[in-house]
Amino acid sequence: MARDVVQALDNCAPALPLGVAFSGGADSTALLVAAARRWPGAVYGLHVHHGLQRAADGFEAHAAAVCRDLGVAFHSVRVDARHAAGESPEDAARRARYLSLAQLASAQGLQAILLGQHADDQAETLLLALSRGAGLPGLSAMPRSFERHGMRFERPWLDIAGKDIRAWLAQQGVAHVEDPSNADTSFTRNRIRHELLPALERAFPQFRETFARSARHVAQARALLAALAEEDLAAMGGKPVIARLQALPRDRQANVLRHWLRAAHGEAASAAQLEELLDQVADCTTRGHALRLKVGRGYVTREETLLRFTPPLPPGPDAVTIRHN
């Protein structure tokens, strides 16, 4: 299994130089060590200080010390990851993390960022999506690679079990920190990790592989629906024309609107918001019918024959502060 941990990086082949999202925990520490050995001199440790718990300063200091010992350049970013009213704290922290990592990597001229999520994380993501009644984007779980905020992100260890990564790290003799919040089972993801995954391993030892395969099947179906939505949207001139939407079956309208919101505006409508939006589109039978509906973090409005999306206000200039260490 140790060979698989190292071999996964050989199969990744990201553009150089690159950053490793480095929290100081076991998974990101193992990834930093393996990457620094695989691409010496071309790896940077990128640390996000969320400021959400007292231990955050200690995590940052530990991460800096590990990078110093490994001879890896270290850069940290402090973010305001507090969530707005009605917003998931986990979603707010994740958005702040990806944005700050991309900004930090771009400032250093990096070409990609490696993330340490592994097969257990992938299974947790799929189970969490199922528990929430998610659609195809959620059920396709985490992609192996993706682009966000102009930066390429790679997850080389999605096929590797977390226990194998920790066993490999123990052999290397490099210290890591344990985030106390990971043991807090008031969070759904932690309950899945500590209670459900062990039961699944006993009942279905191959669950990591089979769950990952199912997620890939869902991702393929999602890609086909995205291609169909692209065709439908292109037939409207690239914007949702109300009359053209009304000519489509309701499920196909939903597919177009989900794709338009995600691809053009980076937003996702809840099931209730999308159903209400479809009802409003159906009711737009007169020129005077107004439409203004909260969707995602913004609003969908009617502008004559088209639907428009008004995004949320951008964060303040002090939301993200980059500090080099």
Q: What is the pLDDT of residues 19-38, one digit of tens each?
A: 999 999 999 999 999 999 99
Q: Predicted confidence band at 186 (pLDDT cuts at 50, 70, 90)?
A: confident
Lowest mean pLDDT among 54-58, 67-71, 205-209: 54-58
For residue 172, which of 64, 69, 33 has the smallest C-alpha distance? 33
Where residue 166 falls among pLDDT bands split at 50, 70, 90? very high
Of the pLDDT bands very low, low, confident and very high (cuts 50, 70, 90), residue 281 is very high
Range with the poorest average pLDDT among 44-58, 73-87, 110-124: 73-87
Q: What is the amino acid identity at position 48?
A: V
pLDDT band at residue 134 under the 50/70/90 scheme: confident
Task: Please state the three-class secondary structure of the chain as a single string.
Answer: CHHHHHHHHHCCCCCCCEEEECCCCHHHHHHHHHHHHHCCCCEEEEEEECCCCCCHHHHHHHHHHHHHHHCCEEEEEEECCCCCCCCCHHHHHHHHHHHHHHHHHHHCCCCEEECCCCHHHHHHHHHHHHHCCCCHHHHCCCCCEEEECCEEEECCCCCCCHHHHHHHHHHHCCCCCCCHHHHCCCCHHHHHHHHHHHHHHHHCCCHHHHHHHHHHHHHHHHHHHHHHHHHHHHHCCCCCEHHHHHCCCHHHHHHHHHHHHHHHHCCCCCHHHHHHHHHHHHHCCCCCCCCEEEECCEEEEEECCEEEEECCCCCCCCCEEEEEC
The pLDDT score that the predictor gives to residue 65 is 96
Q: What pLDDT was estimated at residue 56?
A: 82
Tokens matching residue 251: 């499920």
The CB-side HSE value for 313 (13 A sphere, CA atoms) comes to 5
* Residue that wins the pLDDT comparison between 297 and 316: 297
As a whole number, mean pLDDT of residues 294-308 equals: 92
Angle at the Cα of 68 from the Cα atoms of 67 and 70, rounded to 5 degrees: 65
Q: What is the pLDDT of residue 95?
A: 80
Residue 20 bridge partners (DSSP): 45, 114
CA nearest neighbour of 132 among 91, 74, 94, 102: 91
Taking residues 137-160, report their average pLDDT: 92
Peptide bond into 311 cis (omega under 30): no
What mean pLDDT is reported for the chain?
A: 89
Kindly report, residue by residue over 75-117, the tens digit of the pLDDT.
998 877 665 555 566 777 778 889 999 999 999 999 999 999 9
Q: Specify whether the CB–CB gap between 30 and 20 falls below 8 A.
A: no
pLDDT classification of 177: cutoffs 50, 70, 90:
very high
Better-scored residue on pLDDT, 243 or 182: 243
**Average pLDDT, integer, range 306-310:** 94
CATH numbers and ranges of domains, the chain: 2-207 (3.40.50.620), 236-310 (3.30.465)
pLDDT reading at 149 higher than 50:
yes
